[in-house]
Chain A
Amino acid sequence: MKNQNEEILITANKLRWEVGENIHDSILESIYKEASDIASKVVKHMGEKSKFDLDRMIDRIVTGKLTGFPVMFILLAVVFWLTISGANIPSGWISLILVDTIHPWLKEILSSIHTPWWIIGVLIDGAYLAMAWVISVMLPPMAIFFPMFTLLEDFGYLPRVAFNMDNLYRRVGAHGKQALTMSMGFGCNAAGVIATRIIDSPRERIIAIITNNFSLCNGRWPTQILIATIFIGGTVPAYLAGAASAAAVVAIAILGVIFSLIVSWGLSKTVLKGEASTFSLELPPYRPPRILQILYTSLIDRTLFVLWRAVVFAVPAGIVIWLVANIHLGSLSLAEHFINSVNPFAFIIGLNGVIILAYVIAIPANEIVIPTILMLTVLSAKIAIGSGAGIMFELDSINDTAKILHAGGWTTLTGINLMLFSLLHNPCSTTIYTIYKETKSIKWTLISTFLPIAIGITVCFFVTQIWYFISG
């Protein structure tokens, strides 16, 4: 049997010389010919093809040399503007219910049955409040942003983005499909990293994995939107505030794309040398979006999925926050010790110790950065708001958030640097784990983790120094 098999292979090898190189082409040719024969028999075009082709016309605008990028930026800006201006009010309602009503009520019940103070602290002021905060801050912007994003996806706009970007990525030595994985990263970096499987060359795939983190993910959109609303929207007249904040968020997103291009270029010129491989990208026809399907996908699959993840991570983080704020070494709490010791370094890069500590606590999920920052700010600045230091407090509106941050010594520069640092820092732990699973390499996982932090610190440092220089 074995011999017979070998004999087949030997015969095949011999015959391969006889048939020569063109067998592949010959097979393809006959396939194409028969496909075209059959198609010509069964396909009938009814009447004249209409002269006006809507798909073509839309494509001419959204993928045009001159119009492609402006249309892309405008679409993004409109989406953010709607999100920013629409999210504030429902956010207030949810916080009114979860934080102002249910929180004191839970506390009262537990005290009435004589629960020890530290259990109430850990469970209610730590775990429950962290969860309530995450829901009220994140749910409204996500419930507005995701359906709009899914609408664009279902309509067929994403491949056009890839088509516009493809050339840029090829020019920096990366794969054109990286434009698609980058788009996926705007939803979730872990998903974006998995999506790099569509890139065949290992070299280009690793570039795509390392740079995926420069796509702002779900967890970071709310941070960007909130900080932009407070610090950028606050610097312009009220009627411009929404537009200015939206523009700032778009600018950060575009900056992320620029960084992914620069880093891709750097990698493909140094450690990951090579030529970009070619591929063909088919622009699918535009399809009328299915509204119900979109609402379902975006609300159940995306919004609730992300929210659930945030809540799952917020609960233990809330406990950690409460503990570091309430366990004292000497006269100061653990959190204050940490904040005081990193402050000198943090000020050089235009941040503060609170932000650094928040990013350490929030490694599992970017979603909880803002709640953590607020709580720690109250604690370290000893601001008398809400129910006192060491717990998360009532925040009915963005105005209250702004008051706390200003009282904590935040300036517009801190806001800008936080937005930059939120874009340029390590991926969340889920993404890091996914990168390890996909690359099976500790080296690339470490590079993907620390490269963005190094870039973030450098960028914040220069922004801060230039800001000080200009403002004297």
Chain B
Amino acid sequence: MNLENQNCTNCPAHNVTNLVKLGIDMSNFDFVVALAGNPNTGKSTVFNNLTGLRQHTGNWPGKTVGRAEGGFLYNGKRFKIVDLPGTYSLLSTSEDEEIARDFILFGQPDVTVIIIDATRLERNLNLVLQVLEITDRAVLCVNLIDEAKRHKIQIDDRLLSKNLGIPVIPTAARQGIGIPDLLKSIYDVTTGKFICKPHRISGEMKNITNAVDRLNKKIAESFPNLPNTRWIALRLLEGDQRIIDAVRSGEIGNLKPVESFTSD
């Protein structure tokens, strides 16, 4: 009897029925989920699917301005979810990109869900790789899989997951396909059931690698807890003012790695 119950609660199908859309109720949340992605890949649709909110969705890029927030209850845990503005990269300095970048870095979400367009995988991966430079905990949602099928494009999600070191979930959010799996992955990463080993970019030019290594060593000495010192080093070398300020004030040192979260 007891065993049977356990099996039930472990089954993803059981958990789907456990999804309670909380709308804008975000009180006492256990985990923070950030939604990132290129413009017009369906972030707001996924957001609405999870929260039950009706954040306006429309088939045009740049529709979500600023950020929208909502909540959902899944498997007994309360999640706060933040819909970030769609961006093509986190490198250059438009306001949208800064909002998204700052939230992923300083907002320290427990998981960042990156939503990409299955029909434009290569271009979208640019953003994915940049997000993985910043954070350790991410889930990739390959959305619009129905359209990819229509265009006769097939994506090997398991191989992609192996390459990126994070869970990869194919979805068609407009039809609600894949959302249960996405929820489960979000849950697994936030609760530490799935430990991400995110892909990090390696192949820069030689003289840069040298400089990055030297700076990286210094940063790692000052801020032993930082998970992404290499990325910080790169940003400093590029002269990113926001990061320079954060290092000067020591704010950057307050960002905690995964382990210290669970022990809190």
The answer, among A41, A195, A284, for a CB contact under 8 Å with B40, is A284
Within 159-199 of B, Cβ neighbours of A (below 8 Å) are at 159-160, 163-164, 174, 199
Q: At the interface, yes or no: A400 with Cβ under 8 Å from chain B?
A: no
A-side contacts of B207, CB under 8 Å? 18-20
- Tally of A-B residue pairs with Cβ under 8 A? 173
Number of interface residues of B (CB under 8 A): 64
| Cβ-defined contact, B91 with A24, below 8 A | yes
The answer, among A28, A38, A43, A153, for a CB contact under 8 Å with B154, is A43
9-residue interface stretch from A9-17, A140-148, A424-432, A456-464 = A9-17
A-side contacts of B128, CB under 8 Å? 35
| Cβ-defined contact, A7 with B218, below 8 A | yes
Give the distance in Å from the alpha carbon of A156 to the alpha carbon of B201 in the complex: 35
Given A26-B204, A36-B122, the answer on whether A47 and B152 have CB atoms closer than 8 Å is yes
A-side contacts of B208, CB under 8 Å? 19, 23, 26-27
The answer, among B56, B62, B156, B202, for a CB contact under 8 Å with A180, is B62
Given A42-B159, A195-B65, the answer on whether A153 and B59 have CB atoms closer than 8 Å is yes
| Cβ-defined contact, B65 with A284, below 8 A | no
Give the distance in Å from the alpha carbon of A15 to the alpha carbon of B218 in the complex: 12
For chain A, the bracket of interface size reads: 35 or more
| Cβ-defined contact, B163 with A41, below 8 A | yes
Give the distance in Å from the alpha carbon of A195 to the alpha carbon of B95 in the complex: 13
Nearest A-chain residue to B93, judged by Cβ: A200
| Cβ-defined contact, A282 with B129, below 8 A | no
9-residue interface stretch from B9-17, B70-78, B101-109, B234-242 = B234-242
Q: At the interface, yes or no: B222 with Cβ under 8 Å from chain A?
A: yes
The answer, among B61, B205, B221, B239, for a CB contact under 8 Å with A16, is B239
B-side contacts of A31, CB under 8 Å? 126, 129-130, 201
The answer, among B59, B201, B249, for a CB contact under 8 Å with A155, is B59
| Cβ-defined contact, B54 with A42, below 8 A | no
| Cβ-defined contact, A49 with B163, below 8 A | no
Given A158-B59, A159-B60, the answer on whether A8 and B204 have CB atoms closer than 8 Å is no
Nearest B-chain residue to A20, judged by Cβ: B207
Q: At the interface, yes or no: A470 with Cβ under 8 Å from chain B?
A: no
| Cβ-defined contact, B94 with A200, below 8 A | yes
Q: At the interface, yes or no: A406 with Cβ under 8 Å from chain B?
A: no
Nearest A-chain residue to B122, judged by Cβ: A39
User: Can you list 27 A-B contacts with CB-CB less than 8 angstroms, sorted by A residue number?
Assistant: A6-B248, A9-B248, A11-B215, A12-B236, A16-B239, A18-B207, A22-B205, A23-B237, A27-B238, A31-B126, A38-B199, A39-B121, A41-B159, A42-B156, A43-B156, A46-B152, A46-B154, A49-B151, A154-B58, A156-B59, A158-B59, A162-B60, A180-B62, A285-B147, A287-B147, A290-B174, A296-B54
